[in-house]
Amino acid sequence: MKLILTQAVDNLGIAGDVVDVKPGYGRNYLLPTDRAIVWTRGAEKQIEGIKRARDAREIRGVDHANEVRAQLEALKVTVKAPAGQSGTLFGALTPAAIALAVKAAGGPALDKRSVVLAKPVKAVGTHTVGIKLHDAVTAHIQVEVVAA
């Protein structure tokens, strides 16, 4: 089965790649989770748009990753979350919420899969969160969680 990846898939490829996979893997995993679209001659024209979008948000090497890390570590990120009287959150803070808070604080747009939480954030206060920018570069930012 020939597919065009719309996002990076481990051990398979990155967005915009045309891959040939077993029909069951494509039909049961890649297509339902919107990680790929079926390859056709018409869809072949979409590859350029996918690659342009990927290049716009992609980290271009270790030097660029270090620049983005310096930018991220200088940010003051605050997330409002519903919490009880004791300061315990109603649920945990998600990587997607952290990525949105970084963008709202003036940082770059991050993929929620790049946010690394050592342990779930379930309390009000200041927490250290890792953001994997490159294989060799991880930024550690301070996220302040306040009760909403």
Residue 135 has pLDDT above 80, yes or no: no
The four Cα atoms 59, 31, 33, 23 give a dihedral, to 10 degrees, of: -100
The pLDDT of residue 112: 86
* CATH no. for 2-57: 3.40.5.10
pLDDT band at 117 (very low <50, low <70, confident <90, very high): very high
- For β-strands 137-147 and 125-134, DSSP reports them as antiparallel
Residue 2 has pLDDT above 90, yes or no: yes
Query: Among all chains, which residue has been given the structure tokens 């969680």?
Result: 145
Quick: pLDDT tens for 50-92.
Answer: 777 766 656 667 788 888 899 899 999 999 999 999 999 999 9
Sorted by where each begins, the domain ranges of the chain are 2-57, 61-147
Q: What is the pTM of this model?
A: 0.65
3-state secondary structure of 47: helix
Which CATH superfamily groups domain 61-147? Ribosomal protein L9, C-terminal domain (3.10.430.100)
The pLDDT of residue 15: 80
